[in-house]
Structure 1
Amino acid sequence: MSEDGPAPLPAHRKRNGPRAPQWLRPAILYVLLAVAAYQLSGWLFHNLRGFLGLLFLAWLLSITLEPVVDWLERHGLRRGAATGLVLFGLLAFAVGFVALFGTLLAEQLGQLLKALPDALTAVTEWANRVFDTNFTTGPELLRLTPETVRDLVQRFTPGVLGVVSSVVGVVFQAMTMLLFVFYMSAEGPAMRRTISSWFPARQQRVISTVWEISVEKAGGYVVSRLILGAVSAVGTGIFLMIIGVPYWLPLALWTGIVSQFVPTLGTYLAIALPAIIAAANQPIDGLWVVLFGTAYQQVENYVLHPRITSKTVSIHPAVAFGSVIVGASLFGAIGALVSVPVVAVLQALVETYGRRYELVIDTGDTDAAAVPGPEPGDG
């Protein structure tokens, strides 16, 4: 046995020291790639979220139109022609509405904006006088005269060129959305077959189920909201016109849209503005508007809503309200519009593929002592 001790390390081991693990370099590379992918996806989302929101809205409208397009296709029309006919009918309805009520709506809306500060002041003074309160409407609102409105418009609008460019931009976005709606609806079955062909047979059945649920739940949700909104607007408009409330047309449209497309708070916001305007004209009219809104809400909740929305999904108000906030934060106004139908689809998918288990322990009011414990000797 040698007394010289262990053999000296080679020269390259002395210079370099202990070697790094073999997994370190690939791990660093993967981390850098993940960070780069995250940054790139964030940049793309930030720059394309308007376009993505437009795609979501086009998808929502396309699946809303799909039942009507399918019906026309079953009765002999080609799918492209059926889609074009449905879109033409919608455009014709919009043009006809503007031709019949556009001038009246513009006049009443302008008068309503001018009269709103005075109406709030009158209602506040009446409430202070009747209930012995000391509410104020705020100096900024009381100074909202036609001159200040004109100054604000001139301050926040970028001139004629800016207005023209804004109008052109809105028209371009509308045409782009209609183009996507047409292709998504006309080529819907072909898109489904193309996407399904990328997956094996088992996943193809899942894709077909997801597609059917999306059409039934999200499309049905939008159709039901539109029907309920139209009924609410027509009923409110007729009632306001009968009792002599001014600006009945914009107030009716406000009620129909807000009551159906603003979750949780929409019902109260929808009736608040007509009640304020009516009370400013005659305090008793404000009371009649509130009574009408309350009665109509009961009829809608117990008669109209169950029949119209029987095939759509029921969403908890808190979930709907939260989805609108998230959608508006991500995609703006378009996100707020499409958020609830998207959540309806997700909830329907969870109900379809999710699994529930029977509760072993009742978490309600049952006394915990009543739950039997383990028998002696069970270990």
Structure 2
Amino acid sequence: MPRWLPRAMILALALIACFQLGSWAFHQLIGLLVNVLIAFFLALAIEPVVSWMAARGIRRGLATFLVFFLVVGAVAGFVAMLGSILASQIIDMVESFPEYLDSVINWSNATFHTELSRVAVQDSLLHSDWLQRYVQNSATGVLDISTTVLGGLFRLLTIFLFSFYFAADGPRLRRALCSVLPPAKQAEVLRAWEIAVDKTGGYIYSRGLMALISGVTHYILLEILAVPYAPALAIWVGLVSQFIPTIGTYLAGALPMLIAFTIDPWYAVWVLGFAVIYQQFENYMLQPKLTARTVDIHPAVAFGSVIAGTALLGAVGALIAIPAVATLQAFLGAYVRRYDVMDDARVQGGRRSGGPGDGRPVARQFWRALRTGGGPRP
């Protein structure tokens, strides 16, 4: 046996063991890594505001706390308004359920000549097997729901703590990172960090402005139609349509349409038509102007990045995909050498006249040959 073979076998087994250990640790820590990634992008989003407040004499820790306090307060107020809407709608549905049941029973008796009554229907529903099974499953699922809620609260707390430290200790973190790199690499890291802050902050602020415009326009429509809870519904439409990629527009319009339908079915049609028209106005007029200087990426690239981010990290990847791709594009754009484009019609999608790819001279000779009865002239 060669002397190097046992040593090579031990080295190979050690590498396999290290790979297995690293893979196991990565899968165990994937949740924490995703939370840290979300916290990092959240810290990048609030970095301009924190730096602006710190430049005016406010300590970074206090400035970060104030920003987070405002964000948490706004989110809590939004959730409270949305909860009040849902609670009132549920109460109205429960109170009007006997009327709905009577109307359905009367329609069934008049159409199918049955002899149903509300008491008989209620008794059959209360003593049905599927209702008892549903109640049992709901009772056993309460613990699972409570565990999910507690896990979500703990995850939010983890994200806020990490993002608070990233934003409050941003200069110290950059200094620690640059201390282990040579000067040339330090400049590149700081440049990438600055681009990430600009792109992420610009994305959040442009989305916030579009959410404000969308909320105001939908609020005017809901007030004209006299739909209840118009302010809360307008806030819902603005935030959900802008900060949930791809499907946010449909989720945002579903709730106002449902509430408008309870008043008049035609109101739901009006809300749907307005949402479709406004979406086209936003996509082709409003969004290109607001995001031209902040997140200037092609719509197809943005859509593909959202799909790729969703496939990799789910909803988290969909949220951070666009600012991440915009940061990468801006960073790589500094190292790509660009040239002046030649004045050629083919650049604009046309064809060069008289060139090898132009078939017009050959076509003229062909038609001339058909008219004269001879072959094409040289």
Q: TM-score, normalised by structure 1?
A: 0.69
CA contact (8 A) 1:54 1:334 kept: no
Q: Aligned to 2:31, what secondary structure does the other structure show? A: helix
- Paired position in structure 1 for 2:30: 49
- Paired position in structure 1 for 2:72: 91
1:176 counterpart = 2:158: yes
**Distance in 2 (alpha carbons) for counterparts of 1:175 and 1:313:** 29
Deviations 1:182-221 (A, max 9, x none): 1000111111111112111111111111011000002211
Q: Give how far 1:237 is off.
A: 3.7
Q: Give how far 1:291 is off.
A: 3.7
Which amino acid is the alignment partner of residue 351 of structure 2? Answer: T
- Paired position in structure 1 for 2:355: 370
Matches within 5 A, 1:181-260: 181-245=163-227, 252=234, 255-260=237-242
**Distance in 2 (alpha carbons) for counterparts of 1:367 and 1:149:** 74
- Paired position in structure 2 for 1:141: none
Mean Cα displacement is larger for which, 219-228 or 295-304? 295-304
Which amino acid is the alignment partner of residue 86 of structure 2? Answer: A
**Distance in 2 (alpha carbons) for counterparts of 1:268 and 1:274:** 11
Q: Give how far 1:240 is off.
A: 2.3
Per the alignment, do residues 48 and 319 of structure 1 end up closer, same or farther by CA in structure 2, a change over 3 Å counting?
Answer: farther
**Distance in 1 (alpha carbons) for counterparts of 2:150 and 2:173:** 31
**Distance in 2 (alpha carbons) for counterparts of 1:251 and 1:330:** 32
Which amino acid is the alignment partner of residue 366 of structure 1? Answer: R
Q: Aligned to 2:293, what secondary structure does the other structure show? A: coil
CA contact (8 A) 1:111 1:247 kept: no
**Distance in 2 (alpha carbons) for counterparts of 1:149 and 1:52:** 42
Q: Aligned to 1:183, what secondary structure does the other structure show? A: helix
Q: Number of residues paired by the alignment? A: 323
Q: Give how far 1:65 is off.
A: 0.8
**Distance in 2 (alpha carbons) for counterparts of 1:245 and 1:371:** 65
Q: Give how far 1:176 is off.
A: 1.1
Deviations 1:334-359 (A, max 9, x none): 23222222222112222222234567
CA contact (8 A) 2:199 2:295 kept: yes
1:348 counterpart = 2:348: no
Q: Give how far 1:150 is off.
A: 10
Deviations 1:101-138 (A, max 9, x none): 254233256479999xxxxxxxxxxxxxxxxxxxxxxx
Matches within 5 A, 1:43-122: 43-98=24-79, 101-107=81-87, 110=90
Q: Give how far 1:303 is off.
A: 5.7
CA RMSD after TM alignment: 4.1
**Distance in 2 (alpha carbons) for counterparts of 1:150 and 1:42:** 45
- Paired position in structure 1 for 2:300: 318
Question: Relative contact order, CA 8 A, sep 6+: which one is greater?
Answer: 1
Q: Give how far 1:298 is off.
A: 5.0
Per the alignment, do residues 213 and 241 of structure 1 end up closer, same or farther by CA in structure 2, a change over 3 Å counting?
Answer: same
Deviations 1:81-100 (A, max 9, x none): 1111211222233344455x
CA contact (8 A) 1:275 1:289 kept: yes
Mean Cα displacement is larger for which, 45-54 or 87-96? 87-96
Deviations 1:225-284 (A, max 9, x none): 233224323432442243144675775455334432454565466446645764675453
User: Of 321, 342, 348, which aligns to 1:339?
Assistant: 321
Query: What are the ranges of 5 or more consecutive residues in structure 1 without an aligned counterpart?
Result: 1-15, 116-144, 373-379
Per the alignment, do residues 301 and 165 of structure 1 end up closer, same or farther by CA in structure 2, a change over 3 Å counting?
Answer: closer
Q: Aligned to 1:353, what secondary structure does the other structure show? A: coil
**Distance in 2 (alpha carbons) for counterparts of 1:251 and 1:324:** 26
Per the alignment, do residues 98 and 158 of structure 1 end up closer, same or farther by CA in structure 2, a change over 3 Å counting?
Answer: same
- Paired position in structure 2 for 1:118: none
Per the alignment, do residues 160 and 265 of structure 1 end up closer, same or farther by CA in structure 2, a change over 3 Å counting?
Answer: closer
CA contact (8 A) 1:254 1:270 kept: yes
**Distance in 2 (alpha carbons) for counterparts of 1:27 and 1:359:** 56
Query: What are the ranges of 5 or more consecutive residues in structure 2 without an aligned counterpart?
Result: 97-124, 358-378
Mean Cα displacement is larger for which, 190-199 or 232-241? 232-241
Q: TM-score, normalised by structure 2?
A: 0.69
Identity %: 42
**Distance in 1 (alpha carbons) for counterparts of 2:229 and 2:208:** 22
Q: Give how far 1:63 is off.
A: 0.9
CA contact (8 A) 1:263 1:317 kept: no
Q: Give how far 1:78 is off.
A: 1.0
